[in-house]
Amino acid sequence: MLARAGHEVTVLEAAEDPGPVGAGIWLQALGQQVLDAIGLLEPLRAVSRPVARVDAVTVGGRQVMDFGYADVPGAVPAIGVHRGVLFTLLWEALAGSTARIATGVDVTGVRPTPGGASVETTSGAVGPFDLVIGADGSRSVVRESMRVAVRDHGYSYGALWALVDDPEGLAADVLYQCLDGTSRYLGVLPTGEQQASIFWSVRGADMRAVRGRGMDAWRQEAAPFVGERYAPLLDEVDQLLEAHYRDVVVRTPYRVRDGAGAVLIGDAAHAMSPQLGAGTSLALADAASLCHFLASAPDLETALAQHTASRRAHVRWYSWWTRLMMPVFQSDLHPIALPRDLLAGPVGSHPWVRTQMVKQLGGGQTGLVRRWQLPG
């Protein structure tokens, strides 16, 4: 976006040979809107699958959630896509722009230098630049070097995941979740045309033990969670990979000195658990917002201040929601499971609640009623 707006852009990426890796993600309406603005939504739709419904049950068969985007007129279904497919689309667009790309560059921080802000890497300093954008994820080293106030804590629960072939389309257009208390759940996410992602909620400290017991032992444990419908997908799992979640909030994610600066976007500025599938949409929204204010504000400091102010309520709302949902679905707070299982079904069948669930999932809310507007 910045390169298209005429800026001279240099991208420093740690991966030597960035490629399509990772599990499926659930991309909500807001993220789709940003991709549409840069001409990538249609190519993405061609290689992904709509996720039109959420179906959550307990392992004992009680319905906990069952709602669809079609319940709300005008709601845009999410897209189930392999993270690598989205990555490849973005990477190709970047390669086709005027941006200079340097891969295999391990950034260690950013610091003010005469004439701008320099990026420090394990192979020397790069720059100076007018602006350094730290988009280096939840464990951002750029953030660390900026010495901004951060709340950063890792959750005790995460997920083991696998990407499996789904030639029969068993995952269809449904995000399926099967819960056992708050300590175990299995999720199935349609991922692209003939694939599905399987998520198995587990304490981070137990992941190694679960993997160590082997695939057969895990399949046996997971079998009651999938029912007949998804059983063939379990057979496809040949390894489980670890995903850990963090909760990161940076109050003021930028610094400006002598007309040059650094700013954090995406997970570097606000990582959260993936309960609502909001992270990618928020990261894309950050990018769109930053570009807008860099173009419209009279100077860098004003642009960064306006961008930060514009993003604050939106990010806070989704951080708050995911923080609230984590103990309800993935925690050692076992007593909460029973009221959740008893109440979620009846409460969730109320039209207002269903509407709220779909609206909140879309990724664009800053409250129950108010929405964040993509600037520009």
User: Least distance from C-beta 335 to ligand FAD, angstroms?
Assistant: 26
What minimum distance in Å lies between the beta carbon of 105 and ligand FAD? Answer: 6
Interatomic CA distance for residues 96 and 365, integer angstroms: 33
170 vs 284 by CB, closer to ligand FAD: 284
Structure tokens at 193: 């045309």
**190 vs 266 by CB, closer to ligand FAD:** 266
Least separation, in Å, of the C-beta of 290 and ligand FAD? 12
Residue 27 phi, psi dihedral angles, 5° rounding: -100, 120
The burial of 11, by beta-carbon neighbours within 10 Å (0-12 exposed, 13-18 middle, 19 or more buried), is given as middle
CB of 328 to ligand FAD, least distance (A): 17
Task: Quote the least distance from Cβ 268 to ligand FAD, whole Å.
Answer: 6
Nearer to ligand FAD, 97 or 345 (CB): 97
DSSP 47-104: TSEEE-EEEEEETTS-EEEEEEGGGSTTPPPEEEEEHHHHHHHHHHHHHTSS-EEEES
Closer residue to ligand FAD in complex, CB, 17/216: 17
The distance of closest approach from Cβ of residue 323 to ligand FAD in the complex, given in angstroms and rounded to an integer, is: 15
Angstrom distance (rounded) from CA 77 to CA 69 = 6
Residue 298 CB, shortest distance to ligand FAD, in Å, is 28
Give min distance, CB of 144 to ligand FAD, in A: 10
Two structure tokens written together for 123: 């192979």
Q: For ligand FAD, which is the closer residue by CB, 81 or 234?
A: 81
**202 with 80: CB under 8 angstroms?**
no
CA-based R_g, the chain, Å: 21
Nearer to ligand FAD, 181 or 187 (CB): 187
Give the burial string for 291-326 (b: 16+ CB within 10 Å, else e): bbbbeeeeebeebbbbbbebbeebbebbbebbeeeb
For ligand FAD, the closer CB: 81 or 294: 81
Return the number of the residue (245 or 293) whose C-beta is nearest ligand FAD. 245
Tokens of 263: 């700013």
Q: Which is nearer to ligand FAD, 266 or 348 (CB)?
A: 266
Q: State how far the Cα of 188 lies from the Cα of 248, in Å rounded to an integer.
A: 26
In the complex, what is the shortest distance from the CB of residue 314 to ligand FAD, in angstroms, rounded to a whole number?
14
d(CA 83, CA 95): 18
Cα–Cα separations (whole angstroms), residue 180 to 161, 188, 212, 232: 17, 15, 22, 21
Q: For 94-119, give one letter per residue: b (16+ CB within 10 A) or e.
A: eeeeebeeeeebebebbbbbeebbbb
Residues that bind ligand FAD (CB under 6 A): 12-15, 25-27, 105-107, 135-137, 141, 159, 243, 245, 266-268, 274, 277-281, 283
Whether 245 contacts 155, CB under 8 Å: yes
